[in-house]
Amino acid sequence: MAENENQENILKRINELYHKKENGGLTPEEEAERKKLHEEYIKNFRAGFKQTIEDLVIIDKNGKEITSEKAKAAQRKKGLRKD
């Protein structure tokens, strides 16, 4: 939950800086902050997306699991699978 809150705070600050840039410009320090926050936001987003994909279990319409071997290996490494 704290990670979500952190992401929201980062996004809020990015938006504040965006609006300031549109209405008059940013100082060099603010532009550096904007860039750093944007990079952090993207890094966190990708990590969360990867986590979601790795934890995904896919079942076909016949009830057979068709999860990729790469995802199964990641799940085993995390202790989510016992097979």
- For 4-18, what is each residue's pLDDT tens digit? 899 999 999 999 999
Q: What is the pLDDT of residues 37-77, one digit of tens each?
A: 999 999 999 999 999 988 999 999 999 999 999 899 989 99
Q: pTM for the complete prediction?
A: 0.73
In a domain, 42, yes or no: yes
Task: Give residue 32's pLDDT band: very low, low, confident or very high (50, 70, 90).
Answer: very high
Report the mean per-residue pLDDT for the chain: 92
In a domain, 80, yes or no: no
Residue given tokens 């840039």 in the structure block: 21
Residue given tokens 């603010």 in the structure block: 30
Task: Please report, for the domain that includes residue 18, its CATH number.
Answer: 1.10.287
In a domain, 43, yes or no: yes
In a domain, 73, yes or no: no
42 vs 34: CA distance, rounded Å:
12
Instruction: Report which DSSP code applies to 78.
Output: T
In a domain, 52, yes or no: yes
How many domains, in total, are found in the chain? Answer: 1
25 φ/ψ sector (left φ>0, alpha ψ -120 to 50, else beta): left
